[in-house]
Amino acid sequence: MSNEFETKGVKLAKLPSDYGSTGFKMFKGSILNNVEIAYETWGELSINNDNAILLFTGLSPSSHAASSDNNKAEGWWEYMIGPNKPIDTNKHFVICINSLGSCFGSTSPASINKANGETYGLTFPELSIEDIAKSGHAVLQTLGIDHVHTVMGPSMGGMTALAYALLFPNSLSNLIVISAAARALPFTISIRSLQRELIRSDPLWNNGIYKKDSAPLNGMKLARKLGLMSYRAANEWRERFNRARLPKSAGKKMFDIEFEVENYLNHNSEKFVSMFDPNCYLYLSRAMDLFDVAEHGGTVNAGLAKIHTKKNLIIGVESDILFPIDQQQELADGFSKAKKNFKFERLNSIQGHDSFLVDKESFSKVIYDFFKD
């Protein structure tokens, strides 16, 4: 576990070794020892252990999805989780895990390898979305939970939820996939590939060997700016910033930041790079590109047919350029061909891929209706 990025209030699950193995067996075949997964919970587990909701996150968030007695800071999905909220913790026991490979408490490239006392860096084994799903299932086992009411997630978390349903089809009743896809498209792969190249081209990256006080922050900053541009939609940029300019200053130099939108990208990227590890970003980003439901059946439709959930909800956003709406349509078509019980919600939010974080009204209603039925 990395102490540098540890999140307040998290619990740690020490994952047992797989049967016949010395550690946690990764999807690509490597063995990872001494795996710990950070997680947070809200609500109470029912006597029958039948009210658990497993929540997977996007690439960058921690397990702190909502405030709690252990950490009263506002979570990344504060409006969604809590008493009498769409995911009602008066009724459900919610577990949100910090992804395997992320730097907020779980074993990751930023963690210390107990075998040699050194940071893993690029010696960390190749990471897959399936590994994150499997680690979530292992956390449930440490909690004595064999079956969950719902597995859900937005963005990368939606991919992980799909992977979970494929790997453990008999251990969940319902599935919610938000702004995610069965596999990445070339446009999305190219964006993330460029982000990784920006990080690796920073001289301070040094083949993944660096200390936190000398990390490749410039490369990370540029990668984050590119990410921010893809998380939102062009119409929102126009509506929010238009061509607004910063006040003129006496010491301004040629090519200094001129526009409000530039200032926004700069501020948010600087905030992010102080909170996230570059190598973790590389691993998680690549895991998203490599994920493909077709690997679990030969085709996407064949893979989706292996999911045995009672009820499925797919949510897409019309303005999302990172995971375009036709990718959620592909999931809906696959569930339809497999004669699965599903609902596909197409939302007209203008905030693009990040709509699930900020369009409280639209997403609250859809999620509330799902759990109400």
- As a whole number, mean pLDDT of residues 168-180 equals 98
- At 84-116, the pLDDT tens digits run 999 999 999 999 999 999 999 999 999 999 999
Please tell me whether residues 326 and 267 are part of one structural domain.
no
Please tell me whether residues 154 and 90 are part of one structural domain.
yes
Record the tokens describing residue 118, joined without a space: 């050194």
On whether residue 198 sits in a domain, the answer given is yes
- The single residue of 320, 349, 354, 362 carrying the catalytic annotation is 320
Residue 368 pLDDT level (bands cut at 50, 70, 90): very high
Residue 270 has pLDDT above 60, yes or no: yes
- As a whole number, mean pLDDT of residues 191-210 equals 97
- How far apart are the C-alpha atoms of 221 and 34, rounded to whole Å? 31
What's the confidence (pLDDT) of residue 3? 44
Residue 148 has pLDDT above 50, yes or no: yes
What's the confidence (pLDDT) of residue 1? 38
What's the mean per-residue pLDDT of the chain? Answer: 94
The CATH number for 162's domain is: 3.40.50.1820
Please tell me whether residues 278 and 200 are part of one structural domain.
yes
Residue 155 a catalytic site member:
yes
Q: Give the strand pairing for 112-113 and 93-97.
A: unpaired
Domain total in the chain: 2
- The single residue of 92, 137, 296, 353 carrying the catalytic annotation is 353
Given 283, 316, 343, the domain boundary residue is 283
- How far apart are the C-alpha atoms of 112 and 135, rounded to whole Å? 18
- How far apart are the C-alpha atoms of 156 and 174, rounded to whole Å? 18
What's the confidence (pLDDT) of residue 2? 42
- How far apart are the C-alpha atoms of 176 and 237, rounded to whole Å? 28
On whether residue 39 sits in a domain, the answer given is yes
What's the confidence (pLDDT) of residue 7? 72
- At 325-343, the pLDDT tens digits run 999 999 999 999 999 999 9
The CATH number for 195's domain is: 1.10.1740.110
- How far apart are the C-alpha atoms of 106 and 160, rounded to whole Å? 16
On whether residue 6 sits in a domain, the answer given is no
116 neighbors 123 (Cβ within 8 angstroms): no
Residue 353 a catalytic site member:
yes
Please tell me whether residues 134 and 94 are part of one structural domain.
yes
Q: What residue spans of the chain are helical by DSSP H? A: 129-142, 156-167, 186-200, 217-231, 234-241, 260-273, 278-290, 300-304, 325-337, 355-358, 360-372
- At 22-63, the pLDDT tens digits run 899 999 999 999 999 999 999 999 999 999 999 999 999 999
Residue 191 has pLDDT above 70, yes or no: yes
Given 283, 301, 322, the domain boundary residue is 283
- The single residue of 155, 285, 349, 355 carrying the catalytic annotation is 155
Residue 249 has pLDDT above 80, yes or no: no
- How far apart are the C-alpha atoms of 175 and 235, rounded to whole Å? 31
Give, as one character, the DSSP assignment of residue 292: B
What's the confidence (pLDDT) of residue 20? 75
Please tell me whether residues 38 and 120 are part of one structural domain.
yes
The share of the chain scoring above pLDDT 90, in percent, equals 88
- Straight-line distance from the first to the last Cα atom of the chain, in angstroms, rounded to the nearest whole number: 40
Dihedral over Cα of 61, 5, 277, 284: its sign? negative
What's the confidence (pLDDT) of residue 147? 97
> Residue 339 burial (CB < 10 Å; 0-12/13-18/19+)?
exposed
